[in-house]
Amino acid sequence: MTSPAAARTLSRVVLGLTGGIAAYKAAELTRLLVKEGIAVDVVMTNAAAQFIAPMTLQALSGNPVLSGLWESGAANAMGHIELSRHADAIVVAPASADFIAKLANGHADDLLSTLCLARDCPLLIAPAMNRQMWSNAATQRNVAQLRADGVEILGPGSGDQACGEIGDGRMLEPEEIMAALLASAQPKLLAGKRVLLTAGPTVEAIDPVRAITNHSSGKMGFSLAQACAEAGANVTLVSGPTSLGTPTGVTRIDVKSAAEMAAAVDSAVPAAQIFIAVAAVADYTPAEVRASKLKKNGDRMTLALKPTADILAAVAARPKPPFCVGFAAETDDIVKNAEAKRRSKKVPLLIANRAQDAMGSEENEVTLVDERGAHPLPRMAKLALARRLVAEIASRLPR
């Protein structure tokens, strides 16, 4: 079992705001950063202060909001440099077209632009502007230059704009920016890899009203999809019915039944280098789906079931299979049953857990089972566990 790969530390972030109506979203982004345990130093341009009061961000961050180049408060009068020295990243959200142009050409005439120039930490910017400003050739040249300089561009999104027009240029939502920031700190252990995952339950129809399903929430599979994307992979997620939002950067295919999931996997797996079967796929499905609702008449009802396709075994049995990882939700003899399942399906790695402890929970405790034996991991939050599992999977990939 490998040691967990170290993520880049994110303990303090400079959050920069420039002028734009999207500045109001910075309040929620500040709250999310603080909730994550990240200290936030807010730096605003004069234009940004026209859209949101500095006091709002000061209250949310718990730190003074800075704006003037000579007001940084550093004892050595070099605050425009000092502030960035203690930051693990600088995030500018929103980033106006004017500020993007300033950065691309190395201008530094206020505190925020000076901090961005005098930094030795990653810089992420979230553009926010009118659709025509975004598509303007000058803006696109400036964005291309920033990317070439190693600046990470977050978005923009597309949709309704404050000016009443519709198109590209909307600032990403705070949750998306937060996810991108956390992802930027993760080691790129799967950079360039194509990963296919399944997640969630399947729903097997009995009639137009009733169905057979299970208690899977999909949280473990969605967390793994997020962790794989954070690690630099190109991720496709085949999901059964769930209310969970799609992780940033993940392509999602929605299905309902085990048969639909098997078909979606069969279509997508030829392009995959890694297949992770997390979904709680029904082992059986009704032998006959009634066209109309079965009426309750007080008698016992016998329901004939037939086995569903074994998706993981089918993928592992392909002539040139991807690296296959399975999940086993067991209620007893967890390691013994998981090892038997790993051997029968002929997969290199199976991740086992107690079904009653994992389904619907925010945490999970698993044991990795491979040809070298069983390797237990401590109980932890599912996203933290997913990031650890990515490191374990990466360490086992063929070289």
Report the DSSP pairing between strands 204-205 and 211-212: antiparallel
Whether the Cβ atoms of residue 326 and residue 277 lie closer than 8 Å to each other: yes
Whether the Cβ atoms of residue 303 and residue 225 lie closer than 8 Å to each other: no
Query: What pairs with residue 269 in β-bridges?
Result: none
Give the count of alpha carbons within 13 A of 242, CB side only: 28
Helix, coil or strand: residue 55: helix
* Separation of CA 99 from chain center: 28
CA–CA distance, 203 with 216 (Å, rounded to integer): 11
Residue 161 amino acid letter: Q
Task: For residue 90, give Cα distances in angstroms to 116, 126, 311.
Answer: 7, 11, 44
Helix boundaries (H) for 149-203: 174-184
**What is the rounded (10 degree) CA torsion for 396, 268, 214, 373?**
-10
CA–CA distance, 311 with 286 (Å, rounded to integer): 18
Backbone phi and psi for residue 127, each to the nearest 5 degrees, phi listed first: -60, 150
Starting at the edge strand found earlier in the chain, the sheet holding 152-153 runs 39-44, 12-17, 89-95, 123-127, 152-153
CA–CA distance, 318 with 294 (Å, rounded to integer): 40
CA–CA distance, 222 with 13 (Å, rounded to integer): 27
Whether the Cβ atoms of residue 17 and residue 45 lie closer than 8 Å to each other: yes
CA–CA distance, 315 with 324 (Å, rounded to integer): 8
Sorted by sequence, the CB contacts under 8 Å of residue 138 that are 6+ apart come out as 101
Backbone phi and psi for residue 338, each to the nearest 5 degrees, phi listed first: -65, -40
Catalytic residue among 116, 121, 163, 324: 163
Helix, coil or strand: residue 190: coil
121 is catalytic: no
Q: Which two tokens stand for residue 393?
A: 């999977």
Catalytic residues: 163
